Structure 1
Amino acid sequence: MKFIRTNIPDVILYKPTVFNDDRGYFYEVFKKETFEDFIGFAVDFCQDNEAKSSKGVLRGLHYQLPPFAQSKLVRVVKGKVLDVVVDIRKNSKTFGEKVIVELSEENKYQLFIPKGFAHGYVTLSDDTIFCYKVDAYYNQKSERGILFNDTDLAIDWNFPANELIISEKDKAQVPFKKADLFE
């Protein structure tokens, strides 16, 4: 397995070692000790979530404010997504910067998103299954979001805008400059 720091060093790309043979494949999806050794701190994942989406579904950009902020470890079991992470930590050297990674059932990459980041993705194939671990439970009062097509962030979702399927809630999120961010 290989961990790679992205252009935002706190966001980690995990490329597993996959063992293939005529029966199929095997790989370690998550190994707490190895993962924590690399990132340098303990993460206590408490819940696993799964979402199935049609092609063109955009979910995001979501996050929770402290004390219910969440770290996430995300991956795709079936299909393909364009995964987007935005640094919303006001005092960070990478504030407002983004990481964009394609995650798929073929590459089996995972992305670690620590607290202090907004997260979203668009599905690039039908019947995509997206899975993620979180280290804090959902809290509706601390839930926040940023408008997916915010002009200051200028995210290229790599998908025709007129074909995106977006919830009314995500269409109504606030622009980056008006969002409640991390101090």
Structure 2
Amino acid sequence: MIEGVQIKRIEKHCDDRGYLAELVRDDEHLLSHFGQATISMSYPGVIKAFHYHEKQDDLWYFASGNAQVVLYDLRKNTNTTGRTDVIYMGEHNPILLLIPKGIAHGYRVLGSKPATIIYFTTKSYNKNDPDEKRLAWNDPEINFNWNTTFK
């Protein structure tokens, strides 16, 4: 696993009414500071990649659908510099994923239904000075193959 990335398993409490799940708590210390919470929906097959931050950490949770999340360590001072990790998350694997600053990240929606992501950040978005650096989905340095491997 890329240095600094953390995964928290989400426990769902189910009954005949539905379910309840705690996502993030202040006593877990996953985020160094709360900036904002955002929700986004993407259609099946969509790839949203890559971007990274210099000042903020992200905490991702896919509330519906499923996604292939790709992380690439751009930081120069870690033991995992240049490493790529792939994490499958969503309805079939309900986890919370902490993505530290300096790690390029993106995802592809899997399956035949949209995916909804809820994410928390340590900084609020500033449209006049966004902390969002972009890389192409097919960036040659990352060199990730987004195609499904049929076996």
Fold-level similarity (TM above 0.5): yes
Unmatched 5+ stretches in structure 1: 1-6, 161-183
Q: Segments of 4+ in structure 1 off by > 3 A?
A: 139-142
TM-score (ref. length: structure 2): 0.85
Unmatched 5+ stretches in structure 2: none
Give the match for residue 16 of structure 2.
Answer: 22
Residues 1:136 and 2:130 aligned together: no
Give the deviation of 1:50 after TM superposition.
Answer: 1.2
Q: Return the structure number with greater helix share.
A: 1
CA distance in 2 between partners of 1:22 and 1:90 (Å): 50
Give the deviation of 1:43 after TM superposition.
Answer: 1.4
Give the match for residue 88 of structure 2.
Answer: 102
Q: Say which of 134, 146, 157 aligns to 2:146.
A: 157
- What do residues 29-84 of structure 1 show as CA deviations (whole Å, max 9, x unaligned)? 11121x21xx5xx611211111111111111211233xxx2100001111111111
Conserved? CA contact 1:56–1:159, under 8 Å: no
Give the deviation of 1:110 after TM superposition.
Answer: 1.3
The one-letter amino acid of 1:135's match is: T
Q: CA RMSD in A?
A: 2.0
- Larger relative contact order (CA 8 Å, sep ≥ 6): 2
CA distance in 1 between partners of 2:63 and 2:34 (Å): 19
Give the match for residue 77 of structure 1.
Answer: 63
- Count of paired positions: 146
Give the match for residue 31 of structure 1.
Answer: 25
